[in-house]
Structure 1
Amino acid sequence: MPKKRRSSRNIYSFIMILLGIILIIFWMPLWIWLVILGIVLIIFGINLYYR
């Protein structure tokens, strides 16, 4: 029984995360996404460089 309760909680947390992401996507201007993409690319580049 506790396993079922946990899986439903995981589903609720997934829905909440998804709603948060959707809200962020709808309220963010495009340039903020470009800034985030640039930061992510820089981090990946640094990780690959030092590997």
Structure 2
Amino acid sequence: MNTSHCSACHHTFSAIGTFDRHRRNNQCLTPEEAGFVRNAHGYWGSQGDGTWWSAE
């Protein structure tokens, strides 16, 4: 499982791509501003981006 934690806003993202998408002009967007939702593991990601894991 690859996750990315932001040391600036302290949110954990489901992949490096979602981490990258939450940064704009060297500032963090909130997960809600970036359009992310929490997955089953509690990490922020976007539906359909291939970063979702089953609970199994």
Normalising to structure 1: TM-score of the pair? 0.23
**Greater RCO structure (CA 8 Å; 6+ sep):** 2
Larger radius of gyration: 1
Structure with the higher strand share, 1 or 2: 2
